[in-house]
Chain A
């Protein structure tokens, strides 16, 4: 019985023995490359870190980098196609698009980083407070964060930004209001995991004050996963902030901001599409750089997550 089975198996032509599928299913059992080598993660970290630093520097020195005044109107050259003098063309008021895209980096990149910094700090403080103290405050704050997490965030952010009356500051407030619970959750669980550990007890026995224990001993030990999360969030936050501006709930004209510039260019889609495309490309490239950096930092911090 067993032998006939083997015989039949051998008799079958090669193609039918799953010959083709060797390449297709080979990746199933580990594949050719088991994640990347640590060296290449370091290289990626340097490359993407530098790119992100360039973007940041560019947004800081945007005023110096812009070839023209981003708000200077010149109706004679309105809606001009890209040319040598105006590399990205001009918008409906004849403003130079390249200058406006460069100037917009300040509103877009800076506000995003500010937003991420704010939610990281607030979320972490709330999370550490809850995890450290426990009791009633913990229960109340965690129920509140439950409510926020059980909620389509962008819907709420739109409503908050709209009610506050638009403007970049209000858009940041709206997005911060919906985004802190995620950080509070991570910080809380990290704090709970560390609270009873020996080094914190030792610090307490040595007479350190609670503030000192939290800021000097606990925070450095739990901040890693929180920072990785915030790095991974930069890209999403940038898109959401630009989305609010696109809806007219963020930066308002004439402020150069990528989302509102695109929204402004919607009516020019048939006659001057470049006015919409250049800020769009700017958002895309910045989000991509920050996403690449975030992924790399995660891989660097947690080698187990590599290749997932």
Chain B
């Protein structure tokens, strides 16, 4: 097991170098940089001032040297300073991360509570009325863009019913409710389908027929065997959907003015604040890769066949 973990960690290195290089290259290849963006509209700034500012920010050095300097800083936890606010990027990022993590955790919790029971119910009632209704709802949810859901909820809950504040007033559970609901609606409808498919696949295995032939009740087979075995797939799929959630939070955070890294990134992108954008891209990627790694390890821990080396991937 330890060997496997080390091997997986080593495999991460090229992926992380690739991600950092791509995100860094992207920023530099793009025609305009923060300095032109900063002075671009004013027009009357002389070339000397622009050059001086470039030199100050280190934007005049060769590309690979800039990358090496930046990567070195990144490893030491120094992500540079924001071009716009002049504040330390690592500090800004660390201050906003908890809000995003809270939102993500709440959405995942809501998704699990909604979609696992409903997905199992749909699989068990396959072909029946309940199944059709649930599949219809999940289909609708899959076709709704999350920013539309956000605006609909805002209209219904805040403007019409006046139950919740329109925009979040700080990090509280009350203001987290609408962004969580928005993210959970989109995620649950996708995930419910996957849970249903996973349980159905398990139900079609021979041991289920065998259990039925021996007179074991449906309920017993379902709870003791089927759901236990399909949990593996269900957990894996949930972890994989976290990636979508990370991207999705950016839009939702900026709609509800939730003060997390997603909103910070959207603001930074409009201001072309490279250090902030890079920190966001790289850290989101690292979180994503780590979540995938943990999922894989969990998978190995949970499945005795893989753990004991009966099945090799």
Binding site for B on A (CB under 8 A): 18, 21, 23-29, 31-34, 143-144, 146-147, 150-165, 235, 239, 242-243, 246-249, 259, 262-263, 266, 269-270, 273, 276-277, 280, 283-284, 287-288, 291, 307-308
Contacts and interface: CB of A to CB of B under 8 A. Distances in A.
Contacts of B71: none
Nearest to B193: A308
A165 B22 CA distance: 17
B270 interface: yes
B168 to A, nearest CB: 15
A151 B288 contact: yes
A192 to B, nearest CB: 18
Contacts of A153: 243, 247
A112 B266 CA distance: 22
Contacts of B83: none
A147 B126 CA distance: 38
B125 A24 contact: yes
Contacts of A276: 151, 155
A179 B264 CA distance: 25
B30 A273 contact: no
A284 B148 contact: yes
Contact of B126 (A31, A152, A162, A248): A31
Given A32-B127, A280-B145, A155 B247 contact: yes
Contacts of A284: 143-145, 148
A165 B30 CA distance: 8
Contacts of B166: 269
Interface of B: 14-15, 18-19, 22-23, 26-27, 30-32, 123-128, 131, 139-140, 142-148, 151-152, 154-155, 159, 166, 197, 200-201, 203, 208-209, 212, 217-219, 221-222, 243-244, 246-248, 250-251, 254-255, 265-266, 269-270, 272, 277, 280-281, 284-285, 288-289, 292
Most buried by A among B26, B208, B247, B254: B247
6 tightest A-B CB contacts, nearest first = A154-B247, A162-B269, A31-B127, A25-B218, A147-B18, A27-B126
Contacts of A150: 15, 19, 285, 288-289, 292
Nearest to A295: B139
Interface of chain A, main secondary structure: helix
B43 to A, nearest CB: 18
A263 B19 CA distance: 30
A32 B217 contact: no
Nearest to A245: B147
B3 to A, nearest CB: 21
Contact of A159 (B23, B146, B155): B23
Given A269-B159, A277-B152, 17 more contacts: A24-B124, A25-B124, A27-B123, A29-B203, A150-B15, A152-B285, A154-B247, A155-B246, A155-B247, A155-B281, A159-B269, A159-B277, A159-B281, A243-B251, A246-B147, A270-B159, A280-B145
B150 to A, nearest CB: 10
B224 to A, nearest CB: 13
Contacts of A163: 26-27, 30, 269, 272, 277
A152 B243 contact: yes
Given A18-B217, A28-B203, A150-B292, A247 B254 contact: yes
B272 A162 contact: yes
B275 to A, nearest CB: 12
Contacts of A33: 127
Contacts of B154: 269
B280 A29 contact: no
A233 to B, nearest CB: 13
A27 B289 CA distance: 38
Contacts of A235: 142-143
A69 B15 CA distance: 50
Nearest to B226: A28
B145 A27 contact: no
11 contacts: A25-B218, A25-B222, A28-B126, A28-B221, A151-B19, A154-B246, A159-B26, A159-B281, A162-B277, A163-B27, A246-B147
B30 A239 contact: no
Contacts of A160: 26
Given A28-B218, A165-B32, A284-B143, A151 B285 contact: yes
B205 to A, nearest CB: 12
A276 B144 CA distance: 14
A152 B218 contact: no
A140 B219 CA distance: 51
A269 B200 CA distance: 43
B128 A32 contact: yes
Which of B19, B145, B152, B201: most chain A CB closer than 10 A? Answer: B145
B288 A152 contact: yes
A18 B216 CA distance: 12
B143 A291 contact: yes
Contacts of A21: 217-219
Contacts of B14: 143, 147
Nearest to A280: B148
Contacts of B281: 155-156, 159
Contacts of A263: 147
A28 to B, nearest CB: 5
Contacts of B32: 165
A249 B277 CA distance: 14
Nearest to B37: A165
A164 B30 contact: yes
A13 to B, nearest CB: 16
